[in-house]
Structure 1
């Protein structure tokens, strides 16, 4: 994972430590206890509480002396003070009851979280249009909180004017010029072009919303441009000098890389495969099957191909590079984590599926690879991705477990759950997010660490 804000462990992660007695008895806690006791002592003595303080008595005496001296000098008389009671100071105010204290505390917290008193929609649009007005980490945390609690405002087709910009912010994707994208298009067919053409025509083929908005030609252009970008990065990596610890027939490795004559004699770097299907699987590929479905929501949500390109390229290279390697090692790690996490959040369901020899690799491969984009409806996919980009795409593993929990009763009563798991039921983004957030408390710290890093 990268150092982008998304890959940081979200605030939703469960706490794995319990405060000790020494921590509970810190000096700060003792000060708070003394203040509370002092307040109770003040409120228990109502007569003393309402008696004027020494400072108040001195002020009244001073006012009387000033009034008498001004009267002797025949100056205009100062109007008398209002007859109502004086305003109490914080030190001698009556301690309110618990309910009013809780309500006041909520108002204070709300004012701190939303100092402008804007409604959530206006606040989110302001964050996107105007950028951070203060500390960037605080503003990003606020944006994530708005995405989780309020969600992005969209129509029935899932279209939102600010969604792609929120994604670009959360993915920390830099802006590029349209000319940079067009230069990749003008290069023509990439080494993975034939594989791309074999997949694009069936991308979300049964989804009318996607077919109405995104053409196959647009999908081909974007995937081909990404393939060129990954191809160039791969060539640059292979061209980097690799130091070895032993000298060969050309002499010392350090001298080989320092001498342009010897370096030129070695010849240009060669590549074993350029279509992303290398046997080793440790090198990044330029296209693997399933990238077409993973790319589809970006094109649907974006307002231009260039926006979709930079978001999709940043996503697969920073957040889940292990998913697009030739061996898809990140996907296989994710499948193992689905089995492991399901055994933690629902042991009974996990044991039943295991007894039927139903491992995640048999039913969850597409859901892991595509971040659940293979399961309709598309507007729910977009809403689920809002959550994943805000708090980390690694949470998709727990979202898959949440879908299994939703199907729990049906699966446990079915003698053949294989048929039910051939295709997941329609996504319910809000319910899935609620279950995922709840299950986070059950995940141990070491397993959560595996979730964070499994797609690297």
Structure 2
């Protein structure tokens, strides 16, 4: 959710559904998508004198200023050979960090895609070869954009169970996951039970319990190890923050003693008190806390697709840890403030996209807090079937995980007739219908442009 494609750079495709959202159909070929993006680029050049470079353009300039070397790929672990050789990567898939709030005196503007000419060299390669061989001519930003369009247009080749030897490497690339040696993961495992271990054990046995594909491929022991290792990493990060605060407090004490300032001494005491609070890592300490915790209920379901798609636990660990710490830290804080912000945005976006449906649900006392909490927290991983979850996640990692909010709205739009004709929509929304990833993606793309810039900015940054 920082440095991801902007709203205007996401291709707009019409859904093949009978819904109130009717956009002109557009061909889903690379040539057509290139023409569509060329039109976006031309539109951006014809804008007013206040035009600013797009995030992609800024990324490109930054990439060209660096000396890009064929560095080691983070994900080719020694005894789990990967089809993807080693390439350095820049951040690709979220734009919260660079998202600035709209000016109060003018309409919010987001930079359009301004790449100019499409990277034809990257388009000529298959997704598998693009991941394996890296960007042709060193055009990293162009290769990333081409990979996004390939995922949108062709998807990632997989079998009927959703298994693909390529998928985990595509995810790792878009997450810009760091290098991790297998031994580093094993060292976390060998530390034994983390402070959150009992909470983890209370959840893992029921993770996707009714999904035979997941139960056949991923053992509970594997899920416990992954979550316990992540809990240790988050615990260590908390301790590092506490030590940093303690050092800052020690400096203030020294300064206060030198100058005899009671204000500084008081501030020092507050800093030390905060540092002590951060070191509490008992099970109950995460509940309701504003600081990042080590485990919250629901992380087990969020971790499940990573384990299912990965070729090793170490790969799943580095991808999952990167995702929750960089993409959605607000989802795994004790208070889950990011999830609650996301739920409020589901209500807000639905009111914009489909006012009639929104008013009907509101009249029945049905807000997103009552029916969408699992879908927001787990990026729809709570809704089967699992192969469709993986396909939806391909799209979310390519274009920004924040789009999950609009994917939930899209699911409501798809079943709007059933909801409106039901005197008790609670029964329908108690569990969402089985995921149909392609349909959800198409409806999501069609409603993006209906979202005002200020609301879209909130969606982008809500999970931070």
TM-score, length-scaled by structure 1 = 0.72
1:172 and 2:170 aligned? no
- Rounded to whole Å, the distance in 1 between the matches of 2:208 and 2:259 is 52
Match of 1:449 among 448, 452, 457: 457
Indicate which of 154, 157, 167 corresponds to 2:158. 154
For residue 214 of structure 1, the aligned residue among 208, 213, 218 is 218
**Cα 1:154–1:193 shift into 2, 3 Å:** same
2:251 pairs with 1:251: no
CA offset digits 1:345-364 (Å, max 9, x no partner): 11110010000000000000
Once the two structures are superposed, what CA deviation does each residue of 1:208-265 show, in whole Å capped at 9, x if it has no partner? Answer: 0000100000000000000000000010011113657x97698259999xxxxx99xx
Whole-Å Cα distance in 1 between the matches of residues 258 and 294 of structure 2? 30
> How far does residue 13 in structure 1 lie from its aligned partner after superposition?
8.0
CA contact (8 A) 1:339 1:359 kept: yes
The question of 1:230 aligning with 2:234 is answered: yes
Which string of whole-angstrom CA distances, capped at 9 and with x for unpartnered residues, describes residues 126-153 of structure 1? 1111112222111111111111111101
Q: Are 1:6 and 1:389, in contact at CA under 8 Å, matched by a contact in 2?
A: no
**Residue in structure 2 matched with residue 185 of structure 1 by the alignment:** 189
CA contact (8 A) 1:276 1:325 kept: no
Are the counterparts in 1 of residues 122 and 142 from structure 2 also a CA contact under 8 Å? no
In the TM superposition, 1:326-405 aligns within 5 A as 326-405=334-413
Structure-2 separation of matches of 1:442 and 1:295: 32
Residue in structure 1 matched with residue 9 of structure 2 by the alignment? 11
Question: 1-side partners of 2:316 and 2:210: how far apart?
Answer: 22
Are the equivalent residues in 1 in contact too, given 2:349–2:409 (CA < 8 A)?
yes
SS at match of 1:251: helix
Count of residue pairs the alignment pairs up: 357
Paired residues of 2:231 and 2:294 also in contact (CA < 8 A) = yes
Q: Are the structure 2 counterparts of residues 19 and 151 from structure 1 closer, same or farther at C-alpha, using a change threshold of 3 Å?
A: closer
The residue that corresponds to 1:130 in the other structure is 133
Rounded to whole Å, the distance in 1 between the matches of 2:403 and 2:441 is 10
Cα distance, 1:250–1:278 mapped onto 2, change above 3 Å: farther
Give the match for residue 70 of structure 2. none
Q: Return the offset for 1:278.
A: 3.4
Q: 2:122–2:146: 8 Å Cα contact kept in structure 1? A: no
Asked if the contact 2:296/2:333 (under 8 Å) is kept, the reply is yes
Deviations 1:80-130 (A, max 9, x none): xxxxxxxxxxxxxxxxxxxxxxxxxxxxxxx95544784xxx610111111
Instruction: Report the Cα distance in structure 2 between the residues aligned to 1:249 and 1:239, rounded to whole angstroms.
Output: 17
* Stretches of structure 2 lacking an aligned partner (at least 5 in a row): 13-39, 50-116, 262-267
CA distance, structure 2, for counterparts of residue 254 and residue 218 of structure 1: 56
Distance (Å, rounded) in 2 between the aligned partners of 1:400 and 1:284? 26
Runs (5+) with no aligned partner, structure 1: 25-110, 257-261
- Using the alignment, how far apart are the partners of 2:377 and 2:172 within structure 1? 21
Structure 1 residues 19 and 300, CA gap change in structure 2 (3 angstroms): closer
What root-mean-square deviation, in Å, do the aligned CA atoms of Structure 1 and Structure 2 show? 3.2
